[in-house]
């Protein structure tokens, strides 16, 4: 299937209140532009430099979400053009985003990345630490927490991810109910090509799809 056909099929299939993020790592600006022409409204990027190149070609007609591991020394560049950072998992990273956004007069929507598989070497905050992290970030002037994001363990079995997605949704609901000042729990970003159907069943309202749009990565 072509990129265009894949996008159209996904957009037709997804419920209307679910946001589709095209996960574009390793794809060329031409490939990304094709997805945008077919109706993609959000591009997800893992690398700041790669994203900058694509942004220069495609510009502001889509939203740009950062979905990779953000190093502190890349924050200044990232905040200049990203519309959301989905992978905040520490006070230090949030503080750097806050500082750099303050310098350019921008308020950055962020999601908190949850290490729902509790894998020590992986990015994300453990579920039980999420609320206290959010309380700390909520005090920052130039950062707005808008929800949670999770990957789950790298397994080919989508069913094995279901428990991780479910726990993340429960956490999302709990934090939403706590109605923390300056925190707006709107987005639950979970699910990729092999797992988005399970993620939707478990309450995701944002899915990040790469190979299901662009084909296999080599
Ligand atoms: C690559 C990537 C995706 C998409 O993965 P696919 O299996 O290609 O759909 C989603 N989220 C993140 C954070 C990624 O790095």
The structural domains of the chain, with segments of one domain joined by +, span 3-214
Ligand 1 centroid from CA 20, angstroms = 12
Q: How far away, in angstroms, is 23 Cα from ligand 1 center?
A: 6
The CB of 209 under 6 Å from ligand 1? The reply is yes
CA distances from 25 to 51, 64, 127, 169 (A): 8, 12, 27, 26
Dihedral over Cα of 54, 197, 179, 149: its sign: negative
Q: Digits of tens for pLDDT over the chain (218 positions)?
A: 999 999 999 999 999 999 999 999 999 999 999 999 999 999 999 999 999 999 999 999 999 999 999 999 999 999 999 999 999 999 999 999 999 999 999 999 999 999 999 999 999 999 999 999 999 999 999 999 999 999 999 877 888 899 999 999 999 999 999 999 999 999 999 999 999 999 999 999 999 999 999 999 87
14 C-alpha to center of ligand 1: Å? Answer: 17
Q: Which residues of 18-33 are buried (b: 16+ CB within 10 A; e: fewer)?
A: bbbbbbbeebebebbb
Asked whether 191 lines ligand 1 (CB < 6 A), one says: no
8 A C-beta contact, residue 144 and residue 110: yes
Q: So what's the pLDDT on residue 36?
A: 98
Question: Could you give the CA distance from residue 28 to residue 211 in angstroms, rounded to a whole number?
Answer: 13
pTM of the entire predicted model: 0.97
**Torsion sign, CA atoms 83, 87, 91, 93:** negative
Rg (CA), the chain: 16
pLDDT at residue number 158? 85
Task: Determine whether the shortest distance from the Cβ of 193 to ligand 1 is under 6 A.
Answer: yes
Q: Was domain 3-214 assigned CATH 3.40.50.1370? A: no
């Amino acid at each position: 299937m072509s990129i265009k056909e894949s996008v159209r099929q996904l957009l037709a299939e997804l419920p209307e209140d679910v946001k589709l993020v095209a996960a574009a790592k390793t794809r060329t600006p031409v490939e990304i532009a094709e997805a945008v022409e077919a109706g993609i409204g959000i591009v997800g990027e893992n690398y700041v430099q790669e994203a900058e190149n694509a942004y220069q070609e495609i510009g502001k007609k889509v939203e740009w979400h950062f979905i990779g591991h953000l190093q502190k020394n890349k924050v200044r560049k990232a905040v200049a053009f990203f519309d959301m950072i989905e992978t905040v998992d520490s006070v230090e990273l949030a503080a750097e985003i806050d500082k750099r956004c303050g310098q350019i007069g921008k308020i950055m929507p962020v999601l908190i990345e949850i290490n729902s598989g509790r894998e020590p070497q992986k990015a994300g905050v453990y579920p039980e630490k999420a609320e206290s992290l959010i309380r700390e970030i909520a005090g920052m002037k130039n950062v707005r927490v808008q929800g949670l994001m999770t990957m789950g363990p790298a397994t080919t079995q989508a069913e094995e991810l279901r428990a991780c997605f479910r726990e993340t949704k429960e956490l999302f609901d709990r934090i939403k109910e706590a109605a923390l000042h300056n925190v707006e729990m709107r987005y639950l970003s979970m699910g990729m090509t092999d797992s988005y159907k399970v993620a939707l069943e478990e309450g995701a309202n944002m899915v990040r799809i790469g190979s299901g749009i662009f084909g296999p990565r080599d």
